[in-house]
């Protein structure tokens, strides 16, 4: 696992809160001015007020232990603590939609045994599994939900050799083979033979997963439509964020040969939400891979769009792009999945839609 040490808290978060507070104060002032509606003896049905009164908030928050929502007074940002028990389970409802999430510590040994021997038999588990974490988007009227969790993501990991090897694999194996022949006359001194240099545990040690979420319906309600696009113009607007969560589902440091991490985050505004599930793989000096799945929901139109993208490139090719920028530490960029996704060839894109 590799993650650059967290820089000091970015001011954008604080600024966003301050901006929202300022907007709220402004809105309150404007609402106060509108209260005494001007009365007139002359009224015609076609005449409308120039500004509609502000509608009451239509979302419901359930966010214990966290900073307050400036709009409805409830809280927004889950904040995991180190003290056990670590659990956070906030949610928000808008129309028929409910968005909820949960964060807990990594699985303990008892839970790991169950996953290893029953739920994910045959897979050597990643080192850090946040197996009790999830983000769920639910429409109660349609009896449909989509959830992102670690167990279902790991079920998509192939139980066969990925073919990928760490950078120094050839050196390591050739060294062992040379030692075997040198020690041939003294075979009794150790038990290594050429059979030991074959891989016995067959599974994808990079934990690559093309997981796109778990739907509650037995058959997917998504319809393939690659002409669909996420409405980036709407998403680029800085509408007030009413609910936000960001969590890791699993992470493995690949025995200090890179990183394999599945991260999922969601932001919910008054009219829409965007969820990003990102699988990021870096095998040092070998390759980088980013598999993104985005879920977009428009609440009033009851539209769900799911877009998946796959980026993959050779480590040295991607690194070469950063060298051009004359950075002091070019490898730092390869620890940033956003930078990697922007500088790595996209090899596949797929888009699906649900119109309830």
Partner 1 sequence: MMDLDKIIASLRDGKHIPEETVFRLCLNSQELLMNEGNVTQVDTPVTICGDIHGQLHDLLTLFEKSGGVEKTRYIFLGDFVDRGFYSLESFLLLLCYKLRYPDRITLIRGNHETRQITKVYGFYDEVVRKYGNSNVWRYCCEVFDYLSLGAIINNSIFCVHGGLSPDMTTVDEIRTIDRKQEVPHEGAMCDLLWSDPEDVDTWSLSPRGAGFLFGKREVDQFLEKNNVELIARAHQLVMEGYKEMFDGGLVTVWSAPNYCYRCGNVAAVLKIDDDLNREYTIFEAVQAQNEVGNAIIPTKKSQMDYFL
Residues 197-216 that bind partner 1 (CB under 8 A): 197-203, 205
Q: Does 232 bind partner 1 (CB under 8 A)?
A: yes
Q: Does 241 bind partner 1 (CB under 8 A)?
A: yes
| Residue given tokens 């599994």 in the structure block | 129
Q: Does 336 bind partner 1 (CB under 8 A)?
A: no
Specify the stretch interacting with partner 1 by CB under 8 A; choose among 55-63, 248-256, 310-318, 343-351. Answer: 248-256
Pick from 344, 317, 169: which is nearest to 255 by CA? 169
Which of 5, 43, 46, 326 is in the footprint of partner 1 by CB under 8 A? 5
Considering the complex, what minimum distance in angstroms separates the CB of residue 169 from partner 1? 3
Q: Does 35 bind partner 1 (CB under 8 A)?
A: no
Other CB atoms within 10 Å distance of the CB of residue 301: 11
Q: Is 106 helix (H, G, I), strand (E, B) or coil?
A: coil
Q: Does 325 bind partner 1 (CB under 8 A)?
A: no
Considering the complex, what minimum distance in angstroms separates the CB of residue 15 from partner 1? 10
Specify the stretch interacting with partner 1 by CB under 8 A; choose among 54-62, 134-142, 149-157, 236-244. Answer: 236-244
Considering the complex, what minimum distance in angstroms separates the CB of residue 97 from partner 1? 19
Considering the complex, what minimum distance in angstroms separates the CB of residue 338 from partner 1? 9
Which of 28, 196, 327, 342 is in the footprint of partner 1 by CB under 8 A? 196
Pick from 307, 298, 294: which is nearest to 227 by CA? 307
Which of 151, 192, 303, 319 is in the footprint of partner 1 by CB under 8 A? 192
Which of 92, 135, 274, 304 is in the footprint of partner 1 by CB under 8 A? 274
- What's the CA gap between 297 and 295, in Å, rounded? 7
- Tokens coding 115: 């996953």
b or e along 159-180 (b: 16 or more beta carbons within 10 Å of the residue's beta carbon)?
Answer: eeeeebbbeeeeeeeeeeeeeb
Q: Is 42 helix (H, G, I), strand (E, B) or coil?
A: coil
Q: Does 28 bind partner 1 (CB under 8 A)?
A: no
b or e along 43-60 (b: 16 or more beta carbons within 10 Å of the residue's beta carbon)?
Answer: eeeeeeeeeeeeeeeebe
In the complex with partner 1, the residue whose CB is nearer, 72 or 173, is 173
- What's the CA gap between 278 and 139, in Å, rounded? 23
Q: Is 117 helix (H, G, I), strand (E, B) or coil?
A: helix
Considering the complex, what minimum distance in angstroms separates the CB of residue 210 from partner 1? 20
End-to-end Cα distance, the chain: 40
Q: Does 185 bind partner 1 (CB under 8 A)?
A: no
Considering the complex, what minimum distance in angstroms separates the CB of residue 33 from partner 1? 29
Q: Does 234 bind partner 1 (CB under 8 A)?
A: no
- What's the CA gap between 269 and 236, in Å, rounded? 12
- What's the CA gap between 259 and 282, in Å, rounded? 5
Residues of span 83-142 touching partner 1 by CB under 8 A: 83-84, 86, 104-109, 112, 124, 127-128
Burial status of residue 31 (CB atoms within 10 A of its CB: 0-12, 13-18, 19 or more): exposed
Q: Does 171 bind partner 1 (CB under 8 A)?
A: yes
- What's the CA gap between 54 and 43, in Å, rounded? 22
Considering the complex, what minimum distance in angstroms separates the CB of residue 44 from partner 1? 43
| Dihedral sign computed on CA atoms, order 102, 107, 113, 118 | positive
Residues in binding contact with partner 1, number by CB under 8 A = 82
In the complex with partner 1, the residue whose CB is nearer, 128 or 153, is 128
Binding map of partner 1 across residues 50-89, x = CB under 8 A, - = no contact: --------------------------xxxxxxxxx-x---
Specify the stretch interacting with partner 1 by CB under 8 A; choose among 136-144, 166-174, 315-323, 342-350. Answer: 166-174
Considering the complex, what minimum distance in angstroms separates the CB of residue 14 from partner 1? 9
- What's the CA gap between 194 and 199, in Å, rounded? 11
């Amino acid at each position: 696992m590799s993650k650059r040490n967290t820089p000091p808290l970015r001011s954008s978060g604080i600024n966003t809160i301050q901006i929202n507070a300022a907007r709220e104060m402004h809105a309150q002032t404007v609402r106060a001015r509108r209260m005494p509606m001007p009365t007139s003896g002359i009224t015609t049905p076609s005449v409308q007020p120039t500004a509609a009164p502000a509608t009451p908030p239509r979302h419901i928050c359930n966010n214990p232990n966290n900073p307050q929502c400036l709009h409805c007074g409830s809280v927004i940002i889950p904040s995991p603590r180190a003290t056990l028990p670590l659990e956070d389970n906030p949610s928000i409802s808008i129309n028929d939609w409910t968005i909820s999430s949960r964060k807990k510590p990594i699985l303990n040994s008892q839970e790991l045994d169950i996953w290893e021997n029953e739920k994910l038999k045959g897979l050597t588990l990643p080192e850090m599994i946040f197996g009790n974490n999830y983000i769920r988007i639910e429409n109660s009227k349609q009896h449909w939900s989509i959830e992102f969790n670690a167990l279902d993501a790991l079920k998509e990991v192939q139980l066969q050799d990925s073919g990928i090897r760490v950078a120094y694999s050839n050196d390591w194996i050739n060294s062992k083979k040379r030692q075997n022949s040198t020690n041939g006359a003294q075979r009794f001194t150790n038990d290594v033979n050429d059979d030991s240099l074959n891989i016995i545990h067959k599974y994808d040690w990079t934990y690559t997963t093309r997981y796109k979420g778990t739907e509650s319906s037995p058959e997917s309600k998504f319809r393939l439509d690659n002409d669909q696009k996420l409405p980036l113009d709407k998403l680029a607007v800085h509408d007030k964020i009413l609910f936000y969560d960001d969590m890791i589902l699993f992470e493995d440091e690949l025995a200090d040969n890179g990183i394999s991490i599945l991260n999922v985050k969601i932001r919910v505004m008054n009219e829409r939400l965007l969820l990003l599930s990102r699988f990021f793989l870096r095998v040092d000096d070998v390759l980088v891979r980013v598999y993104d799945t985005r879920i977009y929901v428009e609440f009033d139109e009851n539209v769900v769009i799911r877009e998946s993208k796959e980026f993959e490139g050779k480590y040295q090719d991607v690194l070469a792009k950063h060298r051009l920028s004359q950075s002091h530490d070019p490898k730092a960029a390869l620890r940033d999945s956003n930078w990697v996704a922007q500088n790595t060839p996209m090899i596949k894109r797929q888009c699906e839609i649900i119109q309830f």
